[in-house]
């Protein structure tokens, strides 16, 4: 058998195997004609339980809106001219990122080129002398919510670190995202 024929046989076998695996993964839904996706598994360990709402810090900008129904759950101490607040944001990780990309620019914030990987997204943002960075993670046990850490500079601290903002390429500078 020549190499082209061997390649064709292998490709057909792999495609058939993929089709069988896909059909098997659909389980009973495929058998009864339903194409509705199954709900995501409920996390029972290694996830963050619902935390109570705390007061929004007075320094948080009014023009940096979180999704409706979101609330602050932690305000770690300021460090090096940077302030932090952790939110329980309404919606999935994708919902939060979409909110930030669509809503924040309406209030004059410029966002950088973000970075994402499964279960996590990061981006930086800038408006005048205010700048910050967020990390959003899918770690909440209630999967209709997203954990979001926002780090913002304190404009009154003149020697606060200034991250490199690049709206064309992702930044490779160290991140102040440790809560």
Strand partners of residue 152: 83, 132
CB atoms closer than 10 angstroms to residue 165? 16
CB atoms closer than 10 angstroms to residue 177? 14
Strand partners of residue 134: 123, 150
Q: Which of 22-36, 72-86, 165-179 has the lowest mean pLDDT?
A: 22-36
pTM: 0.67
Alpha-carbon distance 58 to 87, whole Å?
A: 15
Three-state DSSP at 126 gives strand
Alpha-carbon distance 99 to 90, whole Å?
A: 10
Per-residue pLDDT averaged across 13-22, rounded?
Answer: 35
Alpha-carbon distance 151 to 4, whole Å?
A: 56
Q: What is the CA radius of gyration of the chain?
A: 22
Mean pLDDT, all residues of the chain: 76
Read off the pLDDT of residues 38-68 as tens digits, 9 standing for 90 and up. Answer: 344 344 578 999 899 999 999 999 999 999 9
Element (H, E) at 88: strand 82-90
Question: Which phi and psi angles does 73 have, rounded to 5°?
Answer: -125, -15
Nearest of 133, 143, 126 to residue 178 by alpha carbon:
133
Q: Do residues 127 and 109 make contact, with C-beta atoms less than 8 angstroms apart?
A: yes
Residues 6+ apart with CB under 8 A from 109: 63, 64, 125, 126, 127
pLDDT above 70 (res 35)? no
Annotated domain spans of the chain = 1-38, 42-174
Read off the pLDDT of residues 108-163 as tens digits, 9 standing for 90 and up. Answer: 999 999 999 999 999 999 999 899 999 999 999 999 999 999 999 988 887 766 65
Q: Count the alpha carbons within 13 Å of 35 in the hemisphere toward its beta carbon.
A: 0
């Amino acid at each position: 058998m020549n190499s082209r024929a061997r390649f064709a046989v292998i490709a057909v076998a792999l495609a058939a195997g993929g089709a069988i695996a896909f059909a098997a993964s659909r389980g009973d839904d495929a058998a009864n004609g339903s194409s509705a996706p199954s709900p995501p598994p409920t996390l029972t360990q290694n996830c963050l339980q619902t935390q109570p709402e705390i007061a929004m810090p007075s320094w948080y900008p009014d023009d940096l809106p979180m999704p409706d129904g979101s609330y602050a759950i932690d305000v770690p101490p300021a460090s090096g001219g940077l302030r932090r607040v952790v939110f329980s944001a309404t919606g999935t990780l994708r919902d939060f990122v979409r909110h930030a990309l669509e809503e924040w620019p309406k209030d004059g914030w410029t966002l950088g080129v973000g970075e994402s990987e499964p279960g996590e997204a990061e981006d930086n943002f800038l408006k005048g002398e205010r700048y910050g960075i967020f990390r959003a993670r899918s770690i909440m046990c209630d999967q209709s919510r997203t954990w979001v850490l926002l780090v913002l500079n304190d404009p009154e601290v003149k020697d606060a670190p200034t991250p490199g903002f690049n709206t064309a390429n992702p930044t490779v500078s160290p991140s102040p995202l440790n809560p």
